[in-house]
Amino acid sequence: MNITIFPANPSDAIFISEINSQTWFDTYKSEEYWITEELVKSFPEDNEWTTAFIKRKEKEISDNLWSYFLVRDDEKVIWYANWKIYPTKPFNELSGIYLLPEYQRQWIWTQLAEMVLNYLWKEKDVIVEVVWYNQRAINFYKKLWFVFVQELEKFEITDGIWVPEVRMLKKISRD
């Protein structure tokens, strides 16, 4: 492995889109909430949806609405994380960590997450919102010392499809 970590610029939105299309089903699949493999596979093929997603990510990056780190293994972008630092709130927010399936369950996953959390967690607590039925993600965040804080309202993941989330919190040490 030849790992390179770099902050995203707007032109990297295409890589974020590609990683999303490869990880989305594992993250959100649920028969109970009508998120089927067929539905998820239709997103990357839907040029309008993909174009809108890429444009949204380009804007988030160029307007500094969210920060993104990407990771490249040789020439392939394999991972991204995005977050927001809130100057006036008592916490910062980790929006997501997405790693290509073939790299999951390897050492790199936890090390990259810890790198981002160390950045976010210096002076404030960190929150993350997770789909409540994604037990693998919840267990991952628990290993990073996140705890449940509250159940949230459902959010619309795509037209007419809503999923429930929970908020988890990693508290800074206040010795």
Contact 82, 68 (CB under 8 A): yes
pLDDT value at position 99?
Answer: 86
Q: What angle separates helix 37-45 from helix 13-28, to the nearest 10 degrees?
A: 170
Give residue 85's pLDDT. Answer: 87
Q: What is the mean pLDDT of residues 14-38?
A: 82
Other CB atoms within 10 A of residue 83 CB: 20
Question: Which of these ranges, 2-16, 29-43, 73-87, 121-135, has the smallest mean pLDDT?
Answer: 29-43
- For 34, the token pair is 């009508």
Torsional sign, CA 147, 16, 58, 161: negative
Q: Which amino acid is at 97?
A: I
pTM of the model: 0.82
Question: Residue 62 half-sphere exposure, CB side, CA atoms within 13 Å?
Answer: 10
What pLDDT score was predicted for residue 129?
Answer: 93
Q: What was the pLDDT predicted at 42?
A: 67
- Reply yes or no on whether the pLDDT at 87 is more than 70: yes
Higher pLDDT, 161 or 125: 125
- Please tell me the predicted confidence (pLDDT) of residue 119: 73
Give all domains of the chain, ordered by start, each with its CATH number: 3-124 (3.40.630.30)
At residue 120 the predicted structure's pLDDT band, cuts being 50, 70 and 90, is confident
State the pLDDT at residue 104.
77
pLDDT for residue 124 = 87
User: CB under 8 Å to 68, separation ≥6 — which residues?
Assistant: 7, 8, 12, 16, 57, 60, 61, 80, 81, 82
Q: What is the mean pLDDT of the chain?
A: 84
Strands (E), the chain: 3-7, 67-73, 76-84, 91-99, 125-131, 147-151, 155-158, 161-163, 165-170
